[in-house]
Amino acid sequence: MSGPTLKRLGGAPPDKSAARKPKLEPAQPAVIEPADFYKMEDEIARSTTHAELEKTFLRESSALRAVLQKFIEGSKEPCSSEVLLNIARMRRCSRLAHYATAQLRAETTSRLEQVEAKYLHLQNSSSEIQHLQKEINRCLQFSAGDEDIDLIPLDEFYASAPEGVSRPEMTKNNEHEQRLARLTWEIAQRKALVDTLTEQEGRRNVLISSINGKEQRLKSLRSKISLLMTAAKPVQEALGVGNASASSAEQRSLFSLLPHDLSVLYVQAEAYRDIMEGAYVYCQTPERHSDTSMQVVIRGDANEALRLRRRQKEEAEEKEGSDDDDGSDNEGRHSVVSDRLELNKKTVTQPHPIYLKIDIGCQDDVKVALKLYYLPELRVTCMKYKVTGKLPTHG
């Protein structure tokens, strides 16, 4: 039984003539260091894309599948060198793909770290920008208080301020320097006003002290005048000198309520009576009564006069209030005016409660009684007279 026969896969039978030829030494391949080999593989992995590796892998796997399919069908035995070469190429593609993927992951990680670092830097920059923006807004919103100061106009400033303060050659072209100069002039003016105010307050205090001293002297004179009047009273009684307002407390109180026009008449009548004392002897007692005399007396209802004064004061205040109130109702105002007119119709001829009575005694027992009334609504003075006794006839 013969042994197994070895066949050269994929080769022709050896040529016997070739054995007779001299043998040539095969060329020695160049030796590559492992580091250089891996470096070359890394360069190939970096330069080859995944699509190219996938295409090569699919081509080699398809060729291997076809060889295996033929071998399974038994039509042809596969060439071992080609099969090994296909497997080696597939392994190389797989290794290059894994290495390229690792390189991409490393590059992706590096890029992610750079992105994260830049993002962190961006956040820090954004925070710093926000902080600076807040500070800028705070600076823009800062108010030194000089915005509300009412400064004098520019024309008046350059006309009144000295050149050492106004500096027109610099301030007219520089708003900031102009503002500072105007504020400086405003401070100088206010200091001058403060000095003037202090001086005027000092003068006022001096005047107040002087007025207080004079008031104290006047108060001290009141007691002296009272003592003088008390001491002069016996002399006045002995000489028959006096007036109705001083002789009676009632007359003094009525005199304060007397209308202004009648008070003037009262003073003039009293003065006339005192002047004409030699011609008309005024006697306050029945023992000293004479046929020719003149007597001035204030009569009337004091309570009614006080009520009238209060009513006039209230009407004046109401009139002032109605004049000041621009937004009041017109209908209400018309009703008030109409009511006031109706009241004035009733009181237009009503005299003042206090009136003046003058009794004049003449010769031959003739007496003239005068009653002078004041009409407040009409602001006129009227008189009633009465003559008693027989008037002398001539002719």
Of 27 and 79, the structure prediction assigns the larger pLDDT to: 79
Of 137 and 43, the structure prediction assigns the larger pLDDT to: 137
CB count in 10 Å sphere of residue 67: 17
Integer CA distances (angstroms), 13 to 3, 5, 36, 75, in order: 19, 13, 40, 22
CB distance 78 to 68 below 8 Å: yes
Classified as helix, coil or strand, 382 is strand
Tens digit of each residue's pLDDT (9 = 90 or more) over 53-78: 888 888 888 888 888 887 887 776 66
Tens digit of each residue's pLDDT (9 = 90 or more) over 161-188: 888 888 888 888 888 888 889 888 989 9
User: Tokens 């004098």 label which residue?
Assistant: 152
Query: How many angstroms from the chain centroid is the CA of residue 262?
Result: 58
Question: Confidence class of residue 318 from pLDDT cuts 50, 70 and 90?
Answer: confident
Is the pLDDT confidence value at 354 over 60? yes
Of 385 and 278, the structure prediction assigns the larger pLDDT to: 385
Candidates 158, 353, 386; CA nearest to 258 is 353
Neighbouring residues of 157: CB distance < 8 A, sequence distance ≥ 6? 151, 166, 181, 182, 185
Type of residue at 218: L
CB distance 355 to 299 below 8 Å: yes
Integer CA distances (angstroms), 309 to 98, 306, 356, in order: 119, 5, 18
Q: Cα dihedral sign for 11, 14, 20, 26?
A: positive
The mean pLDDT value for 82-98 works out to 83
User: Tokens 């000092």 label which residue?
Assistant: 202
User: Tokens 């593989």 label which residue?
Assistant: 41
pTM: 0.35
Percent of the chain scored above 90 by pLDDT? 15
Burial class for 371, CB neighbours closer than 10 Å (0-12, 13-18, 19+): middle
Q: Cα dihedral sign for 84, 89, 91, 92?
A: positive
Integer CA distances (angstroms), 190 to 86, 158, 187, 321, 372, in order: 105, 17, 5, 39, 62
Q: What are the structure tokens assigned to 263, written together? A: 């008070």
Residue 184 phi/psi, 5-degree rounding, is -60, -45
Of 338 and 157, the structure prediction assigns the larger pLDDT to: 157
Mean pLDDT for all residues in the chain: 78
Least confident of 26-30, 60-64, 82-86, 215-219: 26-30
Percent of the chain scored above 70 by pLDDT? 76
Q: Rounded to whole angstroms, how far apart are CA atoms 212 and 85?
A: 133
CB count in 10 Å sphere of residue 271: 11
